[in-house]
Structure 1
Amino acid sequence: MLNYFRRKRRDHWLAQHPIDDALWLPATTMPVLKNLSVSELARLRELAAWFLHTKSIQASAGIEFSDPMRVILAAQAVLPILNLGFEAYDDWQEIIIYPRPFYASHRHTDAIGVVHEGEQLLAGQARGDGPVLFSWNDVMDGPHLDGWNVVIHELAHKLDMKNGGNANGYPALHAGMSEAAWQSAFTAAFADLSTKADAGEHSDIDLYAATNPAECFAVLSEVFFEAPQILQAHYPDVYTQMVLFYKQDTAQRLSPSPYRPISQYSEPSA
């Protein structure tokens, strides 16, 4: 009953506060939204409006965050949850926007247990304590079907974190999905990417995916939404699991597009 009244209040709010056509229509020309149906775009618009209503978006010094910029961010942000529903991002609220890549503290433990600390220049970061950080320059570089999208990457980490609080490449699966099939597909892909990275080989997929299983899931999520034919060709079992997880068949929706591997991410912080 509580969920019923919550949905009623949300639906009432959305009916009263749609994203204005002057803001929404330019955003729909982003290539990453190519070939969405009329009904899918309408659902994306509602999700984006609710995203902007429920998230606190703070701009750092040096950037004036306008309404058109907010809508461009939101439209990319909600694409992964197009068929997952309004509640998929309910467990976090804050976004911080920087004008360009930013420095953030970095801490990790190596294979022999030595703790290393320092700073990294980042395009984005999904923090385990709540906020998501983005470089606006990189957000604008994202929606071009080149296999690289910092918004999708970091919010894939957030979906991953819903399964226990830490990103580890094993998000909470939907009813009917097989944990064994998921693990088999991603373990094989991660092993192959790691072998290529260790050997210094070329890969059509950004070898930042070989950093750890969490980054593998996030990078392959980018490819799934921006260059799905690449993912389908190299790791068909992963593609199948992505279709089941995101409830979208992106290869069917998108025509082939060139792919440009770039790496500029952070590991999700604990």
Structure 2
Amino acid sequence: MTHWWQQLWRSPHHHQSRPTAPSPSSSQAEGDGLWQAVMQRLPILEGVDAPSLARLERRARHQLHDWRLTSAEPLENIEALALATQAMLLLNGWPQAERWQDAGARVHEVMLPEHAITREVEDVDEAGVVHVFESTRAGETWYQGPVVVTQEDLSASGDWSGFNVVIHEFAHKLDMANATDADGFPPLPVHISADEWFTTFTAVWDDLTARLSRGETTPINDYAASHPAECFAVCCEYFFTAPRTLNDAYPELYQLLERFFCQSPLKHCPASAQARPRLHSGALTQSQSEQPT
């Protein structure tokens, strides 16, 4: 079966662009107008303080300038900047430029297929039997490769629903900053020990798997129990887009992520915010991405 991205590249209509931030000669009104439109587009920015928003805008524009966007149709300026803004939101609590650039700079291209990605996946059960099935995903991430985000799910990201394909996929990239594979163990700051990280996430993992084994509904999306990397990525989604849900279910984990990201989204999350189910995303290693499907 042909990879979806091969189909995109072979299409005579595929589009590549390297968006640029407004030049010094651009009008201030144009630049401010685009950013104001992005803020209206992204409810998760409501209540963020002015210095943090200024830093976020600056970093998002800078990062967008360095990326190549590949899609069947050109991406609207608002959506392109909204994409970069949500990716940089992960790192916006880190004031040192060296840290945020090192943690998230291994992205050179973002591919944007229009609709959900369907892949043929092989899974080996405990008895050694190979099961082949199709998996539908909102995005994918490769080590030293592109980040993939569907335009459909990009449009659905940015609110307080607990779903955010951009944050999910860039959490995988952050996870891969110290390894060739996503394992749920990103580079940690000096004030968080590996033991604390492991203990806290293991408690969440154990609770999720125990609930699933009893046929119970999980407090966060049960995709978090599919792999440690997905546990980290899903929890990042909830931290930034459904922090009340995450804090109510796993307060120790919320507090750990608060210290890790140096941000407190719960402080400006509306009381009425409700999480909704999400479509699976995927984190692929380079070797996995080279396997035929």
TM-score using structure 1 length:
0.87
Secondary structure at the counterpart of residue 28 of structure 1: helix
Runs in 1 of length 4+ with deviation above 4 angstroms? 13-19, 112-118
Q: Is the 8 A contact 1:128 1:165 kept in 2?
A: yes
Aligned equivalent of 2:200: 185
Aligned equivalent of 1:67: 77
1:139 equivalent to 2:154? Answer: yes
Aligned equivalent of 2:18: none
Task: Give the deviation of 1:174 after TM superposition.
Answer: 0.7
1:20 equivalent to 2:31? Answer: yes
Q: Is the 8 A contact 1:227 1:257 kept in 2?
A: no
Q: Which amino acid aligns with 2:89?
A: L
Deviations 1:79-131 (A, max 9, x none): 11112333321122111001111223434444455555554221111122411
Aligned equivalent of 2:165: 150
Secondary structure at the counterpart of residue 202 of structure 1: coil
Secondary structure at the counterpart of residue 162 of structure 1: helix
Aligned equivalent of 1:44: 56
Secondary structure at the counterpart of residue 35 of structure 1: coil
Superposition RMSD in Å: 2.2
Q: Which amino acid aligns with 1:38?
A: A
User: Cα–Cα, structure 1 residues 57 and 263, in superposed 2: closer, same or farther, change >3 Å?
Assistant: same
Q: Is the 8 A contact 1:80 1:246 kept in 2?
A: yes
Work out which of the residue numbers 80, 90, 107 in structure 2 matches 1:80: 90
Q: Is the 8 A contact 1:44 1:79 kept in 2?
A: yes
1:91 equivalent to 2:101? Answer: no
Percent identity, please.
Answer: 32
Work out which of the residue numbers 43, 63, 67 in structure 2 matches 1:31: 43
Aligned equivalent of 1:203: 218
Task: Give the deviation of 1:156 after TM superposition.
Answer: 0.6
Aligned equivalent of 1:128: 143
User: Cα–Cα, structure 1 residues 230 and 124, in superposed 2: closer, same or farther, change >3 Å?
Assistant: same
CA distance in structure 2 between the aligned counterparts of 1:154 and 1:26, rounded to whole angstroms: 23
User: Cα–Cα, structure 1 residues 111 and 248, in superposed 2: closer, same or farther, change >3 Å?
Assistant: farther
Work out which of the residue numbers 172, 176, 179 in structure 1 matches 2:191: 176
Figure out how many residues of one structure are paired with residues of the other and give that number: 256
Deviates further, 39-48 or 231-240: 231-240
CA distance in structure 2 between the aligned counterparts of 1:131 and 1:115, rounded to whole angstroms: 28
| Structure 1, unpaired ranges of 5+ | 1-12
Superposition map of 1:105-120 within 5 A: 105-114=120-129, 116-120=131-135
Work out which of the residue numbers 58, 65, 69 in structure 2 matches 1:53: 65
Work out which of the residue numbers 247, 265, 273 in structure 2 matches 1:258: 273
Q: Is the 8 A contact 1:148 1:223 kept in 2?
A: yes
TM-score using structure 2 length:
0.81
Task: Give the deviation of 1:64 after TM superposition.
Answer: 2.9
Q: Which amino acid aligns with 1:165?
A: T
